[in-house]
Structure 1
Amino acid sequence: MTFSICVREEYTDEEGDEHLRFGVAVTTRLPAVGTLCPFANEHGAVATQSLVNVELGRKGIEYLADGLAVEKALDALLDADEGSAQRQLHGVDADGEFTFSGDECNDWYGHLAGDGYTVAGNLLTGESVIEAVADEYEAAAPETGAAEDAADPLAKRLVDALAAGHAQGGDKREDLPVQSAALKVTRTEERELSPYYDDLRVDATETPIRDLRETFAEAERGFEMAVERYADAYEEDDIDAAEGDEETVDAGE
């Protein structure tokens, strides 16, 4: 199951408070990768792949929420997994990064880690795939602690990183045309209305990156429209505020 990226970023909100955001994105030449590989919560992001053991992702995220460091959490899960030689597992938490590729994964396979991110892949056309993912992410990443709007949304930048790997050949199984892609973004910041584009999946298509990019664009547009219409209602926790906005719109027409 092809290639993915996990990310941790520090940013500053409108009030000047510091927060973390975590992201994970993946694409493969099989359907519905979003149900199997990417996991994220307000404590970190994890990707499980190759011969997939979904419990590594589910339990990994739970362990991070329990306060375990990502290295200890994922090492513990791999130690208890009899099939670990065929797994790839990587992720980030608030303080560190973790990467693992079992020696029975299928070529080309490998991983790399940078400051605040990890990338891994298997059954790829070559190492240049994960290098391109990392290079694209690093080139577009904002400065540590920058304002939330100092760069494109992380979800968009994750799609761009996948696109860079795809352009290098990506998954080498060209006889499997039905593909998929997915992304998740989470934050330590509590928000009344979270962006709709932070949890997206394209489950079955021959053009996963293009479709995920188009899905992001539509979700971003829909989120902006919803904020304009319903922001007051969410802030006041009162649906009447939204109904009032609708009456104002109708009167303007």
Structure 2
Amino acid sequence: MTFSICVRERYTDEGGDDQIRFGVAVTTRLPGVGTLCPFASSDGAVATQSLVNVELGRKGVEYLGDGLAVDDALQALLNADDGSAQRQLHGVDADGTFAFSGDECNDWYGHCEGENYTVAGNLLTGEDVIADTAAAYESDAHGDAPLAERLIDALAAGHAAGGDKREDLEVQSAALLVRNTEEEADDPYYNDLRVDASETPVADLRETYETAKRGYETILEKYAEEEDGADDESDDDGGAADGAADE
């Protein structure tokens, strides 16, 4: 049905403070996956899938915000879920990772964990989907591109490896979500994107990302120009006032 990736990255902000960004991206051969699977906050990222229980994602990030470690939080939710054998649940927080695949998920299913990421999927063409998604992220984990872009690259690698095996289901979807720990940071418009119904969801998600990124950069340039113009006017007014005083 789905494959997804959750990641954690540490970085230094413009003020020199240490920060963390969390991201999650997902694609499936069903519409509207962005409303069901990906969850992220300044405390972590979680993906819930297979016979999806949305509450596992919602409560997962809520529990992380309450201070629970990701493995404790997600395992507690699974312990209370009568349908856990049919679930996949994985995620990251500031310090750890967690991944679970119930033994009643549909083949091929599985997951993997890296130092700073988790990947999981079910109803896939094979294990290569998970392996290639993880490898694509690892190969550019410290790249200069925004995390949103690198998450799409990871999905694209998994899709190229075979992706969801249900080729008879043409209407598909994809989504990504990125959050960080900066208190006053304005999230770029491309950090929360969805393609709800498409035959080419990963390609369309990339196009949506590129359009959103271009729009975000245009707005930043416009605001910078307006600010520079306001500063110039202020300087001119100050000069005129000085001249009047001299007279």
| TM-score normalized by the length of structure 1 | 0.88
- Name which of 156, 174, 184 aligns with 1:181: 174
CA distance in 2, matches of 1:242, 1:31: 45
Deviation at 1:191, TM superposition (A): 3.7
Moved more, 25-34 or 11-20: 11-20
| TM-score normalized by the length of structure 2 | 0.90
- Cα deviation 1:220-248 (Å, max 9, x = unaligned): 00110111223699xxxxxxx69969x9x
What amino acid maps onto 1:16 in structure 2? G
Please give the secondary structure, in 2, of the residue aligned with 1:156: helix
Structure 1 unaligned segments of length 5 or more: list them.
Answer: 143-149, 234-240, 248-253
The structure with the larger Rg is 2
Within-5 A mapping of 1:137-176? 137-142=137-142, 151-176=144-169
Paired residues, what number? Answer: 232
Could you tell me which residue of structure 1 aligns to residue 121 of structure 2?
Answer: 121
What amino acid maps onto 2:31 in structure 1? P
Please give the secondary structure, in 2, of the residue aligned with 1:138: helix
What amino acid maps onto 1:68 in structure 2? L
Could you tell me which residue of structure 1 aligns to residue 75 of structure 2?
Answer: 75
The reply to whether residue 95 of structure 1 matches residue 95 of structure 2 is yes
- Cα deviation 1:94-120 (Å, max 9, x = unaligned): 000000000000000000000100000
- Go from structure 1 to structure 2 and tell me whether the alpha carbon gap of 1:20 and 1:231 turns closer, same or farther (over 3 Å shift): farther
| Contact 1:229–1:242 (Cα < 8 Å) also in 2 | no
Structure 2 unaligned segments of length 5 or more: list them.
Answer: 234-247
- Cα deviation 1:72-115 (Å, max 9, x = unaligned): 00000000000000000000000000000000000000000001
CA distance in 2, matches of 1:232, 1:80: 55
| Contact 1:101–1:110 (Cα < 8 Å) also in 2 | yes
Could you tell me which residue of structure 2 aligns to residue 12 of structure 1?
Answer: 12
CA distance in 1, matches of 2:225, 2:212: 20
Could you tell me which residue of structure 2 aligns to residue 251 of structure 1?
Answer: none
Instruction: Say what the alpha-carbon RMSD is for the aligned residues.
Output: 1.8
| Contact 1:42–1:188 (Cα < 8 Å) also in 2 | yes
CA distance in 2, matches of 1:172, 1:242: 54
| Contact 1:193–1:231 (Cα < 8 Å) also in 2 | no
Could you tell me which residue of structure 1 aligns to residue 61 of structure 2?
Answer: 61
| Contact 2:21–2:180 (Cα < 8 Å) also in 1 | yes
- Sequence identity (%): 72
| Contact 2:195–2:205 (Cα < 8 Å) also in 1 | yes
Please give the secondary structure, in 2, of the residue aligned with 1:98: strand
The reply to whether residue 31 of structure 1 matches residue 31 of structure 2 is yes
Please give the secondary structure, in 2, of the residue aligned with 1:130: helix
